[in-house]
Structure 1
Amino acid sequence: MNHIGIVSNNLNNIQRTARMLQKKVKNSSFFVHHPRQLQQNNLNRYDLLITSSTYIDDVLQQTDHSTKIAVCISEAAENQVERLLQINLDGYLTPNMKKQELIHAINMMLQGGVYVHPVFSTTLLQSYRTYVEIKIERPLHLLTKKEWVVLEHIANGSNNQVIAKKMGISSSTVKNHISSIFKKFGVNNRTDAVLKAVKNNWIII
């Protein structure tokens, strides 16, 4: 049995949607939570969590890497699409998805796939083109592969818990990577580490 949580402040509409999904998605139970209830619930008990861009950071902070997470991006949050795509979530949904689209997306995510609604394809393509057109030159052996990934997440504004979630490692391991980056860069804080990397064209933000 799959347990699926939906975090939303629009409880009436979402509860109706949850009841519909309960009938259509096999072997799955749906639970709706108001954002104020987040800290009162163990979110790690869910196989899949669906929330809006408003609450995605709170959800990420309270879950570990075993929970699949999808974000529903409204038109008002379109300026966040590129940032959200970089988080490497399990699903990118829209509020106006048709019933069959939503059912298909949920089944795909539960089976280990990543669902990206076609409306975000242009942004995804533009981000890819920007990435390949900018030549990143990194000195050999300065940082390990994982340290570069941690640094990129820091540059995108992620805290240690979110980085741990994205990379599937513990928060203490993230701290060790960050300490190593500071030592190798000769800096004392995140801002200086990111500035040094950007100035030397080692990362793009």
Structure 2
Amino acid sequence: MSGSRLLLADDHPLIREGLALAARVAMPELTIDSVGSIAEAEAAIARHKGYRLALLDLMLPDARGFSGFLRLQHALGEVPIVIVSAKQQPELIEAARALGAAGYLSKAQPLDETLGSLRSVLAGKTVFPPVNARVQADVGDARARIADLSGAQLRVLMALADGRLNKQIAGDLGVTEATIKAHLTAIFRKLGVNNRTQAILAIQPLLAEQADEAQ
């Protein structure tokens, strides 16, 4: 794993400070870029090259559910992203695993555990807390449904679940509305559904965060 920088995205200064401390102990050779939003993270990625790892809070002001994660995943490419969150619902943990996160850590865990987890990720491992078999089965089915989607199609699908219109999704991804419509046609075909509502229902176990925020 190469790279000389670490991206730390969290909108709470004290949490950022604590995570930065852990990161400096685990990875003293890395330069840490701390940001408070997805937009700031994207700007940092555009300015700098050579990220080795990203630590991401799901609950940033300009993100909903896993939308921020998918935006950073798109911007960072193969750079591993570890979610660090106060939310520990099993559905969220398994959804993060399904979407390709390198780990899911609790903000409440002791510093030494965080250090151990970060070192494991740097060694090429994934780090997730255990979840029950029912949740694994539910999310596993949703994961199987999205397995054939391309990265662009997955980003379109998650933006769709976030309630965004074709024009908005096109603007976010820097493509035309016609391209979004083509992606949607392919998404519906691959998921075996006929419309947006059915597509969202097909991946419902991956949308636990959105459902929580709507309540």
TM-score, normalising length from structure 1? 0.61
Deviations 1:29-78 (A, max 9, x none): 32211226334322673221111121352243142432211111214x63
Match of 1:61 among 46, 68, 71: 71
Give the AA of the match of 1:127. Answer: V
Query: Contact 2:8–2:32 (CA<8 Å) still a contact in 1?
Result: yes
The one-character-per-residue Cα deviations of 1:2-46 (angstroms, maximum 9, x if unpaired) are: 311111122244224414531442532322112263343226732
- Higher alpha-carbon deviation: 88-97 or 48-57: 48-57
Amino acid at match of 2:20: A
Distance 1:70 1:174, change over 3 A: farther
Residue among 89, 96, 120 paired with 1:108: 120
Q: Residue 44 of structure 2 aligns with which residue? A: 41
In structure 1, distance between residues paired with 2:70 and 2:159? 10
- In structure 1, list runs of 5 or more residues that go unmatched: 137-142, 161-169
Among residues 89, 100, 105, which one is paired with 1:93 in the alignment? 105
Structure 1 counterpart of 2:45, which letter?
N
Q: Which position in structure 1 is the counterpart of 2:158?
A: 158
Distance 1:24 1:87, change over 3 A: closer
Q: Is the 8 A contact 2:45 2:76 kept in 1?
A: no
Give the match for residue 128 of structure 1.
Answer: 136
SS of residue in 2 equivalent to 1:41: helix
1:191 has 2:197 as partner? yes
User: Which amino acid in the other structure matches residue 89 of structure 1?
Assistant: A
Gaps of 5+ in 2: 61-65, 161-172, 206-215
- Verify the 8 A CA contact 1:147 1:178 in the aligned structure 2: no
Root-mean-square deviation (Å)? 4.4
Q: Is 1:4 paired with 2:6?
A: yes
**Structure showing greater relative contact order (alpha-carbon pairs closer than 8 Å, 6 or more residues apart):** 2
Q: Is the 8 A contact 2:95 2:139 kept in 1?
A: no
